[in-house]
Structure 1
Amino acid sequence: MVNELRDLLRDASGHPPQESQDLAGVLRHGRRRVRVRRASVVGGTALAAGAIALASVTWLDPSPADLVAAGVPRPEGPTVRLTDARPAVEGTDYRELTSYTNEDLDGDNGEYFDGVTDDGLVLFREGPSMTRRTERYALMDPATGEKRWLPQGPGDGQQSFPLALGPAQLVLMRLDHGDGGRVRPAVDVYDRGGGTWFSVSWPTLPAQDDFPTVRMGPDGRIYATVMTDPGDVPEGGWPTGPDGDAEDADAEGDVKALWSMALTDPSDVRDEELRVGDFAFDGNQLVWTDSTNGAAGRVHVRDLATGTETSFDPKLGERCNLLGLDAAGGRIAMSQYCGTYEDGVRDDRVQVVTTEGEQVVTVQDDGVEGGDLVAGGDFMTMTAYGRATGGTYLYDFDEGRLLRLSDAMSSWAVGRGPTPGDQFMWTTPAGDRDATFGRKGAEMHLGELIR
């Protein structure tokens, strides 16, 4: 790849509810936090958002899943279970900087933390509601709760997702719908000094049916995937697993083209001539897999300043499907689904390797997912949905310790986005109980690690 990226580098240095019927967006960023994987949609079949249900009801069992009795294989390298965690102690392990509670997200949209700027202000979002068509943003001081509301953005009611929250600019991504419902990413940029917004979209970027992976590169360009080769459904459809769901643990992965676009020029669009599954940036390194949403293949690491490239087998396991990837501090975190076994026990994993391919640790359990690297890659946050093990967890790589931040997980995906330094976010349930999903609301927390 690099198409001038190497020269540029030499010269320079995931919410709640989108009210949309776009299924890919619902699955990745849906209002209700649902445990989903590839087989919720097959062959382009569309489902209304209200039709999506929990992928498994094993979380009703009040005891931790017995992986050994269910016949779940052990991963390569050091492995820990969620039951190995100790409770995190506020004031010792972390300090809470601020929180915000939505009591009832069933009744209407609410307010959310969409990340923290590099200079420590919370990007506070007021979502669209039955009485307000568009979202609006404020920068909130976490110490006082004081909010400075920004001018109305140009998003036209579309939910946005933060890509970069710098001291000079806020860069938010949304999807442009057109071409018969197909989508392209667009960005809205807020100039913090001038107090104004501008937008850019790229009409020559190929439109697609799938929700793209979009990231900001170290060169200041926007990088996005475009589906080229979706994994095929087996002839006759997916087999049924012990939990009654489609068993897609041996799925063929999706392959996508990697494109990049200039932040200020709608005509500056280029195919990076690289096929990827999932991808991420770790400083000046580009990390990618051969495929995603199925067998990952090999992991590739390219130094964008020198062009040096290495690849390795991450040893994910014979049945493991890659669902998500993050990279920071020389570590790569991969969230995986690896099959369902006796009594509906799932083999879910968050596996961490170095950029040289060394196994660091795998957190393995029924219902664990995530693998968001924080604090420069020194820590990792995860979520879990089991009745006995549900909540948010934090893994400390230097100390080799797993901490449990909460003993329950909200049904709503809120409180997400980039955070600077040693800060991180998590969510707990709030409000009255719902007969189907649990509590109706969510409390967002912003914390800081104590080293």
Structure 2
Amino acid sequence: MVNEMRALLHEAAASPPADDIDLAAVLAGGRRQVRRRRAGLAGGVALTLATAVAATALVGRPDAGRDAPAATAVPRPDGPVLRLADARQAREGVDYDVIASYTNEDLDAANGQYYDGVTDDGLILFRDGPRGLRNKVRLALLDPATGERDWLPGLDEREQTWPVELGAQRLTLASVAYDDTEPFGGTLRAHVYDRAARAWTTVSWPGLPRTSGSRSPVMGPDGRIYVGVPATQGSPPPGGWPTGPDGEADDAGAEGETYDLWSVSPTDPADVRDEGIRYGALAFTDDAMIWSETTNGTNDRIHVRDLATGDEHDFDPRSGERCNLLGFGAVDDRIVLSQYCGTYDDGRDDRIGVYTTGGDLVTTIQGDGIDGWVTGGVVKVSSHGRERAGTFVYEPDSGRLTRVSEANSSFGLGGPTPPGYLLWDTPVGEAPGPEQPIPGATQWLARWHAG
């Protein structure tokens, strides 16, 4: 999906950006959290150059202001460490089977068509648009075996939407409706598609406080949508963030943000519940609810609640003094933290920490310009370094790290996938000039064979 300008401007007003906004990072979708602490972009998004330039010009870019502390070598994290050089090359037909692909020649000029996720029963949510003055979007369920598209009835929504649930019986998309008289946040809406009845229902909740797109709603295993309402906002230090050896602002050790957790029924506008938890980032497994103390900043506490018994425990992930939590996820009995830990003489320190739900550090994937998140039952790692760019896959069960591609597209495409599926994208075409995005992309959907 493509971020709509009005939503971006409301987000900019509600959460003033850190002074390290990087246009190239905004365009490189997977990199947006690595290079910008307050990304504020929900879901998998493709952001056009014109929108990014306009948004950046309007919110401004304060100068970094001061030099970083004397740089040193990248510190080694506690416990076992994996590096991208340790990955072996994944082989098609052995490690995975490509079942569908789609190419957009020029996403820089048009919003295009693209895969927006995969349903639990293996169909692709295919998105066309938005297009025109009304931001019209068409959605289809595409069968990867036949290529046939089942176009869904039109959804009357002008705001950006993103998938929260892609089930076999229903699809749930979320959007935030902004009111020009209330720039700080908006009204969350859920658009629920009954696949048997072939009909959309839109729900909003009068009892839910105003929220924003910066903290994506999460569907819990109990069928409720869990929503973050902004609570506290970190801010740059006096004089701005220091400048690292690479010339970019270094916001490692930032204060971070918190949210108040609420939950709602996707079908009943009166069913709203304050969960009484202040948190940073949230994830679920089938058996547990897991949350961090803060997000987009330093974090020293991970909380785990057993959904069957209600028992809770917490632990310190021992990330390090300067590690900002930028990405968060969980799969089975593993918790995944994607972090930026500062810039040093020999590169950026980006880490993906993998922990047990009991708090034991299993491994840390460490590199320069990497981020990672849980999808399809694995940890998908995107690398933006020149030497080892591309998509990598870490399997929590086996500890295997493999390399799937050797380049990433300039746009953050894709969406949620069920276990056993992997969705990634590669660039198509040539960049029009230095530091400009490559305009096209090919998306690949594969069945992944766990090692």
Scaled by the length of structure 1, what TM-score is found?
Answer: 0.85
Q: Which residue of 2 aligns with 1:361?
A: 363
Match of 2:384 in 1: 385
Give the aligned partner of residue 328 of structure 2: 325
Matched, 1:191 2:200: no
Describe how 1:14-413 pairs up with structure 2 within 5 A: 15-20=1-6, 22=8, 32-33=28-29, 34-35=31-32, 36-38=35-37, 48-51=54-57, 71-130=73-132, 133-155=135-157, 157-178=158-179, 179-181=181-183, 182-208=185-211, 211-342=214-345, 345-375=347-377, 379-413=378-412
Output the aligned Cα RMSD: 2.6
Q: Does the residue aligned with 1:211 lie in a helix, a strand or coil?
A: coil
CA distance in 2, matches of 1:434, 1:357: 47
Partner of 1:8: none
Partner in structure 2 of residue 61 of structure 1: none
Equivalent AA in structure 2 for residue 160 of structure 1? T
Task: Sort the Cα spacing of 1:47 and 1:428 in 2 relative to 1 into closer, same or farther, 3 A.
Answer: closer
Secondary structure in 2 matching 1:83: helix
Does structure 2 retain, via aligned residues, the 8 Å contact 1:249–1:339?
Answer: yes
User: Could you tell which deviates more after superposition, 327-336 or 200-209?
Assistant: 200-209
Structure 1 unaligned segments of length 5 or more: list them: 1-14, 56-68
Distance 2:345 2:58 in 1: 24
Letter in 1 for 2:431: R
Change (3 A) 1:40 1:380: closer
Q: Kindly tell me: are residues 82 and 449 of structure 1, through their superposed partners in 2, closer, same or farther at Cα, counting changes over 3 Å? A: same
Partners of 2:389 and 2:138 lie apart in 1 by 32
Q: Is the alpha carbon distance of 1:180 and 1:253 closer, same or farther for their aligned partners in structure 2, counting shifts above 3 Å?
A: same
SS at match of 1:184: strand
Deviations 1:292-349 (A, max 9, x none): 1111121010012211001111111111000110011111111101001126x21111
Q: Separation in 1 of the partners of 2:187 and 2:57?
A: 25
Aligned residue number for residue 429 of structure 2: 431
1:132-177: CA deviations, max 9, x gaps? 731110000001111010000132x222111111111001111111
Deviates more, 1:395-404 or 1:102-111: 395-404
Q: Which range moved further: 97-106 or 176-185?
A: 176-185
1:117, CA displacement in angstroms? Answer: 1.0
Partner-residue secondary structure (3-state), 2:443: strand
Task: For residue 284 of structure 1, report the CA deviation from its aligned partner.
Answer: 3.0
Aligned-partner SS, 2:135: coil
Q: Is the 8 A contact 2:191 2:203 kept in 1?
A: yes
CA distance in 2 between partners of 1:25 and 1:431 (Å): 32
8 Å Cα contact 2:342-2:349 kept in structure 1: yes
TM-score (norm 2): 0.85
Q: CA shift at 1:402, angstroms? A: 1.3
Shift of 1:368: 0.3
Shift in Å, 1:374: 2.6
Query: Residue type of the partner of 1:428?
Result: T
**Structure 1 residues 23-32 or 179-188, which shifts more?**
23-32
Could you tell me how far apart the structure 2 residues matched to 1:247 and 1:407 are?
Answer: 27
Partner AA of 1:174 in structure 2:
S
* Structure-2 change in CA distance of 1:94 and 1:70 (3 Å): farther
**2:413 aligns to what?**
414
Change (3 A) 1:135 1:30: farther
User: How far apart are the structure 2 equivalents of 1:141 and 1:272?
Assistant: 39
- How far apart are the structure 2 equivalents of 1:221 and 1:40? 26
Identity %: 47
How far off is 1:208 after superposition?
4.3
Does the 8 Å CA contact 1:108/1:130 hold for their aligned counterparts?
A: no
Q: SS where residue 245 of structure 1 aligns?
A: coil
Shift of residue 212 of structure 1? 2.5
Unaligned runs of 5+ in 2: 13-20, 41-51, 62-70
Length, aligned pairs only: 413
User: 1:441 matched to which residue of 2?
Assistant: 440
State the distance in 1 between where 2:440 and 2:120 align.
28
